[in-house]
Amino acid sequence: MSVVIPVYQGEKTLVGVVNELLPYREVSTTKGGHDYVISEVLLVFDHGPDNSAAAIRSLTTSIDIVRGVWLSRNFGQHAATLAGMASAGGDWVVTMDEDGQHDPAAIGDLLDTAMAEKASVTYAMPSNPAPHGFLRNMASKSAKRTVRFLLSSDDATSYQSFRLVTGEVARSVAAYAGHGVYLDVAVGWIADKTATCPVMLREEGDRRSGYRLRSLLSHFWRMVISSGTRGLRLVSLIGAVFALAGIGLAIYFVIAYLTGHGAGQQGWTSTMVVLLVSTGAILFALGVIAEYVGVNVNMAMGKPAYLIVSDPALGPLGKTVPKTPATLPSGPVADAG
């Protein structure tokens, strides 16, 4: 197995997470009788605000199975996970968070579920409420239900960052997924079967989440856009609904005029309502279409989902000028006066 951990704010938690994985360097047996071993742990540096880079360098130096994967800039959690998948060589790839929520002891349960159901992708389904607060948990569930409707698939409600994927599927997804594509949606395009396994989530501790409202909304919108063209069909449906509503309103006004109920009325209110609603629907439709066009333009121009580079400390930017002690000039000093 290869374990992929995207690292953004892992300075305080990363050492503990890696230490929990170390016992599985030796062959372990699951409850279902399957043997497995963790052959590598890939720490993908996503240019967070803390000193995670130093923690990664220390771990890669002291532990033989730990490898650092360095991105050229911050690309986000999903892109960092894809970069780790592309660099993984295991028969299976486990993805997990850096904050300690995911218990490595549950990896064996994920493997048992995958083998029992012959699933190429197995998600850890939390058996307890996620430690994010009521509002964020509700928003997450609503977002997944929305994508489930767009995809006409039950898999969307199972999306989690703690997942077990066959190595071939993981590396294939990492190879072709373009910029802006939601990782789990891309996995669903090629995975033969997905499964879920109940897992207890642990507390994050005092580590603050790297997600803010803006990033969460962007995360959700990328999931919607990646879900396919059904969003465009919804735009067409909205247009048809408003067209029918306009025809119905026109018939009503004609009947009102012929029966005398509309005589003498200026109609400014109804006109403004129709204009505002129709204009809003048109702008909404154009916005959705523009998002689809934008994603395709970025992919056509070759904008990468991620870019792996060498450790910056080992490259040209890591070179520093050696400090030498200051020396006084020899010989007489000219009088400035």
How do residues 45-67 score in pLDDT, each as one tens digit?
Answer: 999 999 999 999 999 999 999 99
Asked if the structure places residue 234 within a domain, the reply is no
The answer to whether position 101 is within a domain reads yes
The region of weakest confidence among 171-175, 215-219, 253-257, 304-308 is 215-219
Task: State the pLDDT at residue 314.
Answer: 84
Higher pLDDT, 103 or 312: 103
Token pair in block for residue 178: 């373009």
Lowest mean per-residue pLDDT among 163-172, 255-264, 305-314: 255-264
Q: How big is the chain, counted in residues? A: 337
Percent of the chain with pLDDT over 70: 66
> What does the pLDDT read at residue 310?
86
Instruction: Check residue 44 and give its pLDDT.
Output: 97
Sign of the C-alpha dihedral computed for residues 201, 206, 211 and 213 taken in this order:
positive
- pLDDT recorded at residue 97: 94
Considering only CA atoms, which of 62, 86, 66 is closest in space to residue 75? 86
Is residue 195 in a domain?
yes
Q: Look at the pTM and tell me if it is higher than 0.85.
A: no
Contacts of 317 (CB under 8 A, 6+ apart): none
Residue 149 is assigned to a structural domain of this protein:
no
**Lowest mean pLDDT, pick from 68-82, 187-201, 273-287:** 273-287
State the pairing for strand pair 194-199/121-126: parallel
CATH number, residue 127: 3.90.550.10
Tell me the C-alpha distance between 247 and 243, whole Å.
Answer: 6
d(CA 304, CA 176): 10
Residue 98 lies in a domain: yes
Decide if pLDDT at 253 tops 80.
Answer: no
Question: C-alpha distances in angstroms, 280 versus 147, 238, 269, 270, 273?
Answer: 23, 11, 16, 15, 11
**Does position 291 have pLDDT exceeding 80, yes or no?**
no
136 DSSP assignment: H
Query: What is the average pLDDT score of the chain?
Result: 79
The predicted structure's pLDDT at residue 103: 95
As a whole number of angstroms, the distance between CA 21 and CA 34 comes to: 18
Determine, yes or no, domain membership for 160.
Answer: yes
272 and 322 in contact (C-beta within 8 Å)? no
Instruction: State residue 33's pLDDT score.
Output: 96
Containing 41, the helix (H) or strand (E) segment is strand 40-45
pLDDT of residue 332: 47
| 269 falls within a domain | no
Residue 127 is predicted with a pLDDT of 87
Query: In the chain, how many domains are there?
Result: 1
- Alpha carbon separation from 20 to 17, 37, 98, 106 (Å, rounded): 5, 14, 12, 12
Label residue 71 by pLDDT band (50, 70, 90): very high
State the pLDDT at residue 184. Answer: 85
Q: Alpha-carbon distance 315 to 305, whole Å?
A: 23
For residue 217, report the phi and psi dihedrals to the nearest 5 degrees: -65, -40
Whose CA is closest to 147, among 227, 216, 78, 214? 227
**pLDDT given for residue 161 in this prediction:** 92
215 compared with 306, residue with greater pLDDT: 306
Enumerate residues 6+ apart whose C-beta is below 8 A from 268: none
Torsion 216-221-224-228 (CA) sign? negative
Question: Strand 121-126 vs strand 92-95: parallel, antiparallel, or unpaired?
Answer: unpaired
Q: Assign 3-class secondary structure to 252-267.
A: HHHHHHHCCCCCCCCC
Q: What is the Cα–Cα distance from 274 to 249, expressed in whole angstroms?
A: 9
From the list 137, 136, 140, 191, the residue with the least C-alpha distance to 163 is 191
Q: Which stretch of DSSP H or E encloses residue 36? A: strand 35-36
Write the burial class of residue 264 (CB in 10 Å: 0-12 exposed, 13-18 middle, 19+ buried): exposed
Domain that holds residue 205: 2-133+155-210
Residue 293 within any structural domain of the chain: no
Beta bridge partners of 111: none
**pLDDT tens per residue, range 168-227:** 999 999 988 877 777 888 888 888 899 999 999 887 655 555 555 565 566 565 656 555
| 44 sits in which H/E element | strand 40-45
